[in-house]
Chains A and B, each alone.
Chain A
Amino acid sequence: MSQPTAQDVRAYVVTTLDEPLRAAGVDPAAIPDDFDLHKTGVIDSLGILELITGLEEQFGVEIDYEDLDPEELTIVGPFSRYVAERSRQAA
């Protein structure tokens, strides 16, 4: 699979978390860039692990998260951009 763009990553996150997003009363199609998946209870640390594992399988990339600010790890926009950026560097 080719390198994902930030849009691809975001689309994957939103699709994967469709049910918990709806359960939290959020429209998955309309979540803002600064939406925090952890603070809103959509995802816990196990969910994050599942998400990044799924991402790597989906796009066939291995991401080093060392440089990602913990505060941004679960914020949709910055997270998607980081993964896209790292995939590009890894390729």
Chain B
Amino acid sequence: MSLAEVDAPRSSERGLHSGFLRSADRFPERPALEVEGRAWSYAELRDRAAAIAATLQARTPEDGPPLTGVFAYRNATAFAGVLGTLMRGHGYVPLNRTFPIRRTQQMLESAGCRAIVADAESAGQLESILADRTDELLVLLPDEDDVTEIAARLPGHTVLGRRDLAPAGDWQPQPVDPAALAYVLFLSGRKGAPRGIMISHRSVEHYVTTLVARLGITEEDRFSQTSELTFDNSVFDMFVPWQQGACVCCPSAKTLIKPGRYISDSRLTVWFSVPSTAVFMQRFRMLKPGSYPTLRHSLFSCEALPVEVVEAWAAAAPNSTIDNFFGASEVTVDFVGYRWDPERSPRESEDAVLPVGFPLGELDVIVADEELREVAPGAEGEILVGGPQVSAGYLHDPEATAAAFAAPPGRSGRYYRTGFRARRPRSPAEPLVYLGPMRDQVQVLGEPVPLREVEAVLREESGTEAVAAVAWPVAATGAQGVVAFVGDEDADPDALRAALRERLHGQLVPRRVHALSELPVGEGGDFDRDALIRILEEPK
């Protein structure tokens, strides 16, 4: 494979799905996907996606909302739904049936989706999710032969099953505007409410083509699909392999907890996960030397990557390169990457954690002060990222967009203010070293958690102003959870936690709530998070 193939000049004009379609033409019989114990060839998956796309073309108006929900979990419908939505010319909005109903409702409403592709099990939640909707939605259930029963429970909506889908041959390829949305992904914003991040075809194609070239992917490769579709590492898991005719191997959620045997049995060649998974495998003694000889590339992202974990992984996967990536959903998955070198890397690591490396592709990564001016070499500041991967902003939230995206003085274009601290490298040959989060934002198991927003909800639910949220415990890979405190001895921690679980999502939900008579106050007048962490660290 040549680089010219990777960087086919027209690819950026044809959308995120164009790589898949090209692979389907080149390798119709090769496997595109393995899931639930079954392999799907490129031709099969394309046809399944084209039937969804053709149905959406026939049933959604050209001037309607350009986003369609994909409500499916680790099965063929999830992947065909993503591809079919893109082939319709819509961006996909990943939904997840393991999320609370209210969360899914808010995401659908915020995105303005008028169509949803759902699998059989997720469809069971639609009655509750759509209960209050007065507008008509189009619900595609490609797994269902008979939708009579479900349709009766969803009055006012159009429900179509497998037999109602248009034939795959009806799908008409349509031009894609590079600035159009490829997907919208939700993280937690104000008071924990879902906040959509808009990512265009242009942004994600820069990321995908950069990674394909970096790794030299071919049709022989077999990729792990570890990340949920609602987490943007999954963009790598799907579109990097599909670009080259490789296979996406999607284990069940259960298998993922302990994936060692799956790596061997599925003969994976590319592994991508959060570092916590590697720590977990090490703890389960699944990183014995020579365990995974089929792996060619191992990639980690979203958490600190400890040297010790890398060394164990390198021994377990002796034929594999190891890359540490770092990023933010606002700049399309990852913006810097670092290739492990057993000689050099331990020296370049700080506090036994790997550097995050060098900008991907054409991205401009700078370390800046509060006025967004680049700091002197060796000085500390906030990481700003500019270039093609920068998001168009937050959906329906111009205020938050204006606060997070700005043009630094003397530079053109919008840069994303990551809220991450780093030291500016002293020379271009020196890798970027991540120092930690700023502005009360922490990463918990890879998920950004705004502690202030957790506290805002805690204040409302507890009825007291004396509240604090801290990231704890903190392992070598980073924070493992959030713990909340209320300065009210009579508060009921269990009831408060239950109330928080209703309003917050994911890692924002505190793992524990402690009621104290009063909270320690620090020098600035704020509650002293460090003192609270010391309380947690005291032996019981």
Which residues of A approach B to under 8 Å, CB–CB?
Answer: 19, 22-23, 38-39, 41, 45-46, 48-49, 52-53, 64-66, 68, 70-71, 73-74
Contacts and interface: CB of A to CB of B under 8 A. Distances in A.
A65 B257 contact: no
B481 interface: yes
Interface of B: 98, 253-255, 257-262, 276-277, 280, 283-286, 445, 480-481, 494, 497-498, 501
Contacts of B283: 49, 52-53
Contact of A70 (B258, B276, B445): B258
A76 to B, nearest CB: 15
Nearest to B261: A70
Contacts of A23: 494, 497-498, 501
B243 to A, nearest CB: 30
Contacts of B98: 41
Given A23-B494, A66-B286, A46 B254 contact: no
Interface of A, helix, strand, loop or mixed by DSSP? helix
Contacts of B253: 38
Contacts of A65: 258, 284-286
Contact of A66 (B260, B277, B481): B260
Contacts of A70: 254-255, 257-259, 261-262
Q: Of B257, B260, B501, which is in contact with the most chain A CB atoms at under 10 Å from its CB? A: B257
B445 to A, nearest CB: 7
B442 to A, nearest CB: 15
Given A45-B276, A49-B280, A52-B283, A68 B498 contact: no
Contact of B254 (A19, A22, A52, A71): A71
B494 A45 contact: no
A64 B283 CA distance: 9
B50 to A, nearest CB: 34
A23 B285 CA distance: 31
B254 A38 contact: yes
Given A66-B285, A70-B258, A46 B494 contact: no
Contacts of A64: 285
Nearest to B258: A70
A46 B498 CA distance: 20
Nearest to B259: A70
A46 B285 contact: no
Contacts of B261: 70
Contacts of A49: 280, 283
Given A19-B494, A23-B494, A45 B284 contact: no
Contacts of A73: 254, 257-258
Nearest to B286: A66
Contacts of B286: 65-66
A70 B259 CA distance: 8
Contacts of B254: 38-39, 70-71, 73-74
Contacts of B501: 23
B507 to A, nearest CB: 10
A70 B277 CA distance: 14
A74 B283 CA distance: 16
A66 B497 CA distance: 35
Question: Which has the most chain B C-beta neighbours within 10 Å: A38, A39, A66, A71?
Answer: A66
25 contacts: A19-B494, A22-B494, A23-B494, A23-B501, A38-B254, A39-B254, A41-B98, A46-B481, A49-B283, A53-B283, A65-B258, A65-B285, A66-B260, A66-B284, A66-B285, A66-B286, A68-B258, A70-B254, A70-B261, A70-B262, A71-B254, A71-B255, A73-B257, A73-B258, A74-B254
Contacts of A22: 494
B85 to A, nearest CB: 28
B515 to A, nearest CB: 14
A48 to B, nearest CB: 7
Nearest to A46: B480
Given A73-B257, A74-B254, 14 more contacts: A22-B494, A45-B277, A46-B480, A49-B280, A53-B283, A64-B285, A65-B284, A65-B285, A65-B286, A70-B258, A70-B262, A71-B254, A73-B254, A73-B258
A65 B260 CA distance: 11
A53 B167 CA distance: 54
